[in-house]
Amino acid sequence: MPTHEGPRTVAEHLAEVLALVSALPAVTTPIDEALGLVLAEDVTAPEALPRFANSAMDGYAVRAHDVAGASPEHPVVLPVVVDLPAGAESLTAVTPGVAARIMTGAPVPPGADAIVPVERTDAGVRAVTIFAPAALGAHVRRAGEDVAQGDLVLGAGQELTPYRIAAIAAVGRPAVRAHRRPRVLVMSTGSELVVPGETLRHGQIPDSNSYLLAAAARAAGASVVRLGAVPDDPDALRAALSSRADVDLVLTSGGVSQGAYDVVKEALIGLPEMRFVPVAMQPGKPQGLGRLDDGTPVLALPGNPVSAFVSFEAFVRPALLALRGLRGAALHRPRLLARATEGWTSPAGREQHIPVVLTQGEDGLEVRPAAIRGSGSHLVASLAVADGLAIVPREVGAVAVGDDVAVVRIAP
Ligand SMILES: Nc1nc2c(c(=O)[nH]1)N[C@H]1C(S)=C(S)[C@@H](COP(=O)(O)OP(=O)(O)OC[C@H]3O[C@@H](n4cnc5c(N)ncnc54)[C@H](O)[C@@H]3O)O[C@H]1N2
Ligand code: MOO
């Protein structure tokens, strides 16, 4: 294993991260608990949808021919032979010269071929006076016009959103096969870290990364065990890892660069499948990746808060989405183009991922850096105003006012 490698590109590193993970096993899940999970099967319609022709309006089911000449001056009066609320089981037919009172969603009775909305009638119960004609098929929802029997409703690999869950319920499925939710262990490292709210001695700071990464992992659809901060002691870190819960991914922050107390590197570098590598990215240069002895994947992120965050976005989020069963383009946030309203510099040879503020200008999306003073990776408060990340290619040394820049939205 080389200890000093040249920097790899963000894309190369992402490919290695994704090679560590694959979609988690599928479990049968009630649709009520499936929000945010990813389908592990194709869902087809066992029957046509709608199953039966039904009314789109409260009104009267008629034969269009019978009301062809109806007008306010020359209304048509028809006896009402049956009353059909939604759910009605009656099979009484509409023969020539009669009507059925019908509510939205009720089956269109045999013989009827149009619905006259109640507003165009006197709303009669025993007989109805109709003041307007109805075209053939008017306000009739035809059987199978939504999906035909056997049609694919949703494919494996699709995330279950509220409207997709509705479609599954509508074809009569109470449960689906879905990939189970990934479990992630989050720990931050550093002897300077204390729980937010505790008294700070000189040199100490509140641990923010374990909260950042836990919340970001949850927002990406994982369930999280947050361990909080482990001191810069390799034995303490190894002990924390050996007593950990059963998880699908371990996420650490800090202790991966060149310092004398880089605890994650020290504790894990001896594992045959762990590597600590530089990525041509700013921030987020030092990265660790690999597996623990039992095969659990580990992503070791740099400790600077902005570095941890952009590393999460670039590498961890796609890995979590892959564990959830998403594939291809669905692993990534869509990239948009935005016009810079302020200029900034970008380090040569490193792809810059910089927190930005996005606004909708008159001519399209506009972008400016979130940090007012510089773009340092310690500027944690700049994350609070950021709603996007701009991605500046390695070969670009500066962004000028008016340049088009690739951005992703990170805020909901
Ligand atoms: N001689 C070198 N020094 C550094 C290099 C280098 O190449 N040579 N790389 C720099 C870069 S780039 C980064 S990024 C950092 C990464 O360092 P570590 O991952 O080892 O992180 P730490 O040293 O533990 O911490 C860095 C910084 O972030 C603060 N921090 C850490 N954890 C948290 C947390 N949970 N919550 C809030 N803040 C945290 C920590 O106090 C430090 O200020 O290394 C550079 N150095
Ligand atoms: O890579 Mo460090 O993340 O530049 O601050």
Same domain, 215 and 295: yes
Q: Does ligand 2 come within 6 angstroms of the Cβ of 352?
A: no
Question: ipTM score here?
Answer: 0.97
Q: Does ligand 2 come within 6 angstroms of the Cβ of 282?
A: yes
Same domain, 265 and 131: no
For residue 149, being part of any structural domain is answered with no
Q: Does ligand 2 come within 6 angstroms of the Cβ of 253?
A: no
For residue 268, being part of any structural domain is answered with yes
Same domain, 122 and 195: no
Distance 64 CA to ligand 2 centre (A): 74
Q: For residue 286, which atom of ligand 2 is closest to its CA?
A: 1
Q: What is the CATH number of the domain that holds 108?
A: 2.170.190.11
Q: Is 319 left (phi over 0), alpha (psi -120 to 50) or beta?
A: alpha
For residue 3, being part of any structural domain is answered with no
Same domain, 175 and 185: no
Q: What are the structure tokens assigned to 393, written together?
A: 């290619």
SS3 content of the chain, % helix, strand, coil (to 5): 20, 30, 50
Of the listed ligands, the closest to the CA of 209 is: 1
DSSP letter for 329, please. Answer: G
Same domain, 111 and 210: no
Cα separations in angstroms, 271 against 293, 296, 341: 7, 12, 47
Query: Quick one: which of 59, 79, 65 has its CA closest to 134?
Result: 65
Final residue belonging to a domain, choices 87, 111, 141: 141
Same domain, 128 and 224: no
Would you say residue 1 has pLDDT above 50?
Answer: no
For residue 147, being part of any structural domain is answered with no
Write the residue with the smallest CA distance to atom 4 of ligand 2. Answer: 283
For residue 71, being part of any structural domain is answered with yes
Mutate to test the pocket of ligand 1, among 257, 263, 380 (most ligand atoms within 8 A of CB): 257
Q: Does ligand 2 come within 6 angstroms of the Cβ of 287?
A: no
Final residue belonging to a domain, choices 285, 301, 331: 331
* Region 309-318 average pLDDT: 98
Same domain, 313 and 216: yes
Same domain, 128 and 164: no
Distance 89 CA to ligand 2 centre (A): 69
Would you say residue 188 has pLDDT above 90?
Answer: yes
pLDDT, one tens digit per residue, over 227-272 is 989 999 999 999 999 888 899 999 999 999 987 889 999 999 999 9
Of the listed ligands, the closest to the CA of 377 is: 2
Tokens 């040569």, residue located: 348
For residue 4, being part of any structural domain is answered with no
**How many whole angstroms separate alpha carbon 141 and alpha carbon 214?**
48
For residue 1, being part of any structural domain is answered with no
Count of domains forming the chain: 4
pLDDT, one tens digit per residue, over 82-133 is 999 999 999 999 999 999 999 999 999 999 999 999 999 999 999 999 999 9
For residue 344, being part of any structural domain is answered with yes
Give the structural domain span for 236: 10-24+181-331
Same domain, 67 and 196: no
This prediction has a pTM of 0.91
Q: Helix, strand, or coil here: 385?
A: helix
The confidence band for 5, taking pLDDT boundaries of 50, 70 and 90, is: low
Q: What is the CATH number of the domain that holds 31?
A: 3.90.105.10
Q: Does ligand 2 come within 6 angstroms of the Cβ of 388?
A: no
pLDDT, one tens digit per residue, over 128-183 is 999 999 999 999 999 999 999 999 999 999 999 999 999 999 999 999 999 999 99
Q: Does ligand 2 come within 6 angstroms of the Cβ of 307?
A: yes
Distance 3 CA to ligand 1 centre (A): 19
Q: Helix, strand, or coil here: 129?
A: strand
Final residue belonging to a domain, choices 331, 359, 377: 331
Mean pLDDT rounded to a whole number for the chain: 95
Distance 20 CA to ligand 2 centre (A): 23
Q: Helix, strand, or coil here: 16?
A: helix
**How many whole angstroms separate alpha carbon 184 and alpha carbon 225?**
6
Same domain, 187 and 327: yes
- The confidence score (pLDDT) of residue 266 equals 95
Do the beta carbons of residue 94 and residue 100 sit within 8 Å?
yes
Q: Does ligand 2 come within 6 angstroms of the Cβ of 182?
A: no
The type of residue at 216 is A
Q: What is the CATH number of the domain that holds 190?
A: 3.40.980.10
Same domain, 186 and 316: yes
Q: Does ligand 2 come within 6 angstroms of the Cβ of 303?
A: no
Q: What are the structure tokens assigned to 240, written together?
A: 């924390």
Query: Is the previous residue joined to 96 through a cis bond, with omega within 30 degrees of 0?
Result: no
Q: For residue 264, which atom of ligand 1 is closest to its CA?
A: 20
Distance 270 CA to ligand 1 centre (A): 21
Q: Percentage of the chain surpassing pLDDT 70?
A: 98
Write the residue with the smallest CA distance to atom 43 of ligand 1. Answer: 304
Q: Does ligand 2 come within 6 angstroms of the Cβ of 254?
A: no
Of the listed ligands, the closest to the CA of 376 is: 2
Q: What is the CATH number of the domain that holds 358?
A: 2.40.340.10
User: Taking CB atoms and a 6 Å cutoff, what residues make up the pocket around ligand 1?
Assistant: 188, 190, 192-193, 205, 207-210, 253-259, 262, 283, 285-286, 302-305, 307, 377-378
Do the beta carbons of residue 129 and residue 76 sit within 8 Å?
yes
Same domain, 314 and 233: yes
